[in-house]
Amino acid sequence: MAVYDSFARFYDRLFAPAERRFLGRWRQETLSLIPEGSRLLELGAGTGANFEYYGSPERVVSSELSCEMLGFAAVKARGNALIQANAEELPFAADSFDAAFATLVFCSIPRPELAFADLRRVVRPGGRVVLLEHVRPPGLLGMMFDLLNFATVALIDDHFNRRTAEVAVSSGLRLIENRRKLAGVVNLIVLENPE
Ligand SMILES: C[S@@+](CC[C@H](N)C(=O)[O-])C[C@H]1O[C@@H](n2cnc3c(N)ncnc32)[C@H](O)[C@@H]1O
């Protein structure tokens, strides 16, 4: 993806203050919701900011669309497989994984409903999907995000008013829990692929 190809070399430096203040903690919380020993898939792994929190899955495949982002991720890899892939067309057989997760990714996937459909295909029935995403918050703030969205989509292909939990549920995933953070601007969404 063009935006992230040009963004890749600045990404870690740009996010470093947020990582220290809250993002690192939220990443850890996200990964703690993945059952141990899972065959795990990460979508949109970026520069590999989650790798240090992977824990002890049976095996991990870290997928990412941008080749430049993947180049930075490769330096941080710790036995996980890296693969260039579009979340809307995952190159895996059905039921390949017990769990999948993504952090800060569904805001930039053009057609999230296609990514959810493919997640439902590659994660086995009964498997878990965990997302840490910035979303459209409730109330007045939500309306401000609707306005902000015009600028963020035009400038960086980032949708600031996505209702990601709702899209996941309408794609057939079952919502287990939604932990709202920062007045609902960030959601930690725990889902299950129904049996
Ligand atoms: C904000 S970054 C988040 C990176 C990483 N997950 C993190 O938490 O630091 C969004 C990432 O999603 C990736 N991405 C966007 N659309 C994608 C798609 N259709 N398939 C796979 N990855 C995608 C981008 O290339 C980028 O690396």
CA of 195 to the centre of ligand 1 (A): 28
Residues 180, 93: Cα–Cα separation, whole Å: 33
CA of 64 to the centre of ligand 1 (A): 6
- Ligand 1 pocket, residue 103 CB under 6 Å: yes
- Ligand 1 pocket, residue 62 CB under 6 Å: no
Give the type of residue at 131. Answer: L
**Residue whose entry in the numeric block shows the structure tokens 């008013």:** 161
Q: What is the pLDDT along the chain (195 residues), one digit of tens a residue?
A: 678 999 999 999 999 999 999 999 999 999 999 999 999 999 999 999 999 999 887 799 999 999 999 999 999 999 999 999 999 999 999 999 999 999 999 999 999 999 999 999 999 999 999 999 999 999 999 999 999 999 999 999 999 999 999 999 999 999 999 999 999 999 999 999 999
- Determine the atom of ligand 1 nearest the C-alpha atom of 110: 19
3-state SS class at 182: helix
Q: Tell me the CB-side half-sphere exposure of residue 3, using CA atoms within 13 A.
A: 11
Q: Which is nearest to 119 in space by CA: 97, 136, 142, 146?
A: 97
Beta pairing class for 81-84 and 123-134: unpaired
CB atoms within 10 A of CB 148: 15
- Determine the atom of ligand 1 nearest the C-alpha atom of 1: 25
- Ligand 1 pocket, residue 68 CB under 6 Å: no
Give the type of residue at 98. Answer: D
The tokens for 47 are 């520069």
Residues 55, 23: Cα–Cα separation, whole Å: 17
CA of 13 to the centre of ligand 1 (A): 16
- Ligand 1 pocket, residue 66 CB under 6 Å: yes
Residues 111, 158: Cα–Cα separation, whole Å: 12
- Determine the atom of ligand 1 nearest the C-alpha atom of 87: 20
What spatial distance separates the first Cα and last Cα of the chain, rounded to whole Å?
Answer: 34
**Quick one: which H or E segment has residue 101?**
strand 97-103
Q: Tell me the CB-side half-sphere exposure of residue 114, using CA atoms within 13 A.
A: 9
**Quick one: which H or E segment has residue 130?**
strand 123-134
* Cα distances (Å, whole numbers) of residue 105 to 30, 58, 62, 132, 173: 14, 23, 13, 8, 17
Domains belonging to the chain, first-starting first, are: 2-133+163-192 (3.40.50.150)
